[in-house]
Amino acid sequence: MSAIFEILDKDAGGRIGRLRTPHGTVETPTVMPVINPNIQLISPKEMKSFGAEILITNSYIIYRKEELRSVALEKGLHGLLDFDGPIMTDSGSFQLSVYGSVEVTNEEILEFQQKIGSDIIVPLDIPTPPDVHYKRAEEELGITVERLEAARKLIQGEQLLAGPVQGSTHLELREKAASHLKDLNFEVYPLGAVVPLMESYRYTELVDIIAASKKGLSPASPVHLFGAGHPMMFALAVALGCDLFDSAAYALYAKDGRYITVNGTYHVEKLNYLPCSCPICSKYTAEELKKADNSKREELLGKHNLYATFAEIRLIKQCIKDGKLLELVEQRCRAHPRLLDGLKKLYTHSSWLEQLDPATKGTYFYCGPESASRPEVLRFGKRLDRFSLEGSVLIRPGPIKGENDYDQLLTFKAPFGAFPVAMEEVYPFNAEVPKFPDYEALSTALSNTLKLMDLNPQAEFTFVCEKEFKHPLIEKISNRAKLVYREPEKKNEK
Ligand code: GUN
Ligand code: ZN
């Protein structure tokens, strides 16, 4: 039998995977629309037409309400929701975090999820909020871990079991929890209690929490970012290795009159145009959406929100196939300055990402100053000792007259630095980069070049520099190499 989770493609920390459940296989990354068993704005059956492959609902809501509970016990969860694909069930932990207590034990809710035929079962973990003292986070994590261990003993059949990683904003606790849970072999690892961080745009801390947790887990395990439903941050989270999301946002936002786009959210009252071509936005105008009565407006917005959400998932998957995920992340993180902070934080983990990132891909596009910190650039900087240079070495930006008089010829290209001419067409040196490198690209390229010079003390360097390159490191290079300035190209030249 094939593995529960199989990885088909990779890019940065992101991957396209296949997760096998009792009710079918789903392709990840994907979003699980949250189904409220009480109110259904859009029916579970309809969800497939938006692109949903798996749903998530709350077993505690079903457990507590007699009408739902008896139907679920009699006809099963899939009968209750009238959906024949995979369904994940949450445990009531969210209610625990909001109301402080729940009227069910870990064992009771596990057994209930098992009985009603959930595809992915979640134990009653404790979602410790951000910023609590280490002591509290550690104590609550201890209880969560005990409950997860008990759950692992109870659930051992076809149904998948999720092991939520907690630890609040304490990164060492997150990593410790993750590496402990790794040994218990859960089929899915949700990262818990991150909703308050996302609600307050604390993306840098979110990035660190995902990275810390991922470092403790096996890279072969699927990871679910609990409560993440806004498509604006999916690419960032996928690049860090998240495979599953769940969205109540599509419905909650619709209820509030909010229209989701990957660049942020609009209130429908403020929309003059609909910047989308989904079936809803093709059929209605902004004016018609505003004028629709409340329940119709909510339904239309909910549908648009789902279309926008799954369109982004498909784009992310295409970008993984094409090796362009980080280009997409860099674009998406322009949607909000706090996401930009998140992007910068992402690249502080480049050394870890570099180990996950495929060594060869099709492309590298320089999209902005952050691109200078991408894993590919870092990898090149780490491998400079692989070149050994002797005699006269010419480093130049492109072909120049007389270059064949030197023993060795290197090309200078920001943000990488200097590399053998023969590698120009090889990834990542075939990168598409701006004609005028920014400060960050020059910083990385020049410091890599200096490093290369230091590694080859016996070589005699000549560095041909474009006149328009302005950077303090150029002076340092001039102390080590013969510096020659090249005039800017004339228009009529090639
Ligand atoms: N939903 C959002 N966050 C959480 C969490 O940390 N645990 C569980 N079980 N459900 C959640
Ligand atoms: Zn639309």
Claim to verify: residue 396 and residue 345 sit in the same structural domain: no
What is the predicted pLDDT for the residue at 210? 98
494 located within any domain: no
Q: Of 53 and 494, which is predicted with more confidence?
A: 53
pTM summary value: 0.97
Pocket of ligand 1 (CB under 6 A): 90-91, 93-94, 122, 125, 127, 164, 192-193, 195, 226-227
Domain C-terminal end among 324, 354, 384: 354
% of the chain with per-residue pLDDT over 90: 94
Cβ atoms of residues 342 and 246 within 8 Å: no
Claim to verify: residue 348 and residue 381 sit in the same structural domain: no
Report which of 149, 86, 163, 151 is spatially closest to residue 117, judged by C-alpha positions: 86
- The whole-number average pLDDT for the span 371-378 is 96
40 located within any domain: yes
* pLDDT, the chain, mean: 96
Claim to verify: residue 337 and residue 441 sit in the same structural domain: no
Report which of 21, 89, 31 is spatially closest to residue 245, judged by C-alpha positions: 31
| CATH number of the domain to which 464 belongs | 3.40.50
Cα–Cα distances (Å) from 179 to 47, 126, 217, 433, in that order, read: 35, 18, 5, 39
Domain C-terminal end among 354, 386, 408: 354
Q: Whose CA is nearest to atom 6 of ligand 1?
A: 192
109 located within any domain: yes
130 located within any domain: yes
208 as an active site residue: the answer is no
Give me ligand 1 centre to Cα 263, in Å. Answer: 26
| CATH number of the domain to which 158 belongs | 3.20.20.105
What is the predicted pLDDT for the residue at 486? 87
Q: pLDDT tens, 75-89?
A: 999 999 999 999 999
Q: pLDDT tens, 232-283?
A: 999 999 999 999 999 999 999 999 999 999 999 999 999 999 999 999 999 9
Report which of 25, 4, 2, 27 is spatially closest to residue 220, judged by C-alpha positions: 4
Q: Please name which ligand lies nearest the alpha carbon of 311.
A: 2
Claim to verify: residue 153 and residue 289 sit in the same structural domain: yes
Question: Quick check: 219 pLDDT over 80?
Answer: yes
**Residue type for position 391:** G
Question: Quick check: 19 pLDDT over 70?
Answer: yes
463 located within any domain: yes
* Phi, psi angle pair for 324, to nearest 5°: -120, 20
What is the predicted pLDDT for the residue at 357? 81
Claim to verify: residue 387 and residue 447 sit in the same structural domain: yes
The dihedral through the CA atoms of 30, 36, 37, 39 has a sign that is: negative
Domain that holds residue 397: 373-486
What is the predicted pLDDT for the residue at 87? 98
Q: pLDDT tens, 423-455?
A: 999 999 999 999 999 999 999 999 999 999 999
Q: Whose CA is nearest to atom 11 of ligand 1?
A: 94
Domain C-terminal end among 322, 354, 386: 354
Claim to verify: residue 71 and residue 205 sit in the same structural domain: yes
| Residue among 90, 208, 243, 246 flagged as catalytic | 90
Question: Quick check: 33 pLDDT over 70?
Answer: yes
What is the predicted pLDDT for the residue at 492? 53
Claim to verify: residue 124 and residue 211 sit in the same structural domain: yes
Claim to verify: residue 450 and residue 384 sit in the same structural domain: yes
Number of domain units in the chain: 2
Claim to verify: residue 350 and residue 380 sit in the same structural domain: no
What is the predicted pLDDT for the residue at 362? 72
Cβ atoms of residues 229 and 250 within 8 Å: yes
Claim to verify: residue 12 and residue 78 sit in the same structural domain: yes
Cβ atoms of residues 87 and 48 within 8 Å: no
Q: pLDDT tens, 275-311?
A: 999 999 999 999 999 999 999 999 999 999 999 999 9
Q: Please name which ligand lies nearest the alpha carbon of 302.
A: 2
Question: Quick check: 406 pLDDT over 80?
Answer: yes
Give me ligand 2 centre to Cα 452, in Å. Answer: 52
Give me ligand 1 centre to Cα 127, in Å. Answer: 6
What is the predicted pLDDT for the residue at 363? 81
363 located within any domain: no
Claim to verify: residue 276 and residue 416 sit in the same structural domain: no
364 located within any domain: no
Tell me how far apart the alpha carbons of residues 423 and 426 are, in angstroms, rounded to a whole number.
Answer: 5
365 located within any domain: no
Kindly indicate the confidence band of residue 100, based on its pLDDT and cuts at 50, 70 and 90: confident
Kindly indicate the confidence band of residue 488, based on its pLDDT and cuts at 50, 70 and 90: low
Claim to verify: residue 349 and residue 226 sit in the same structural domain: yes
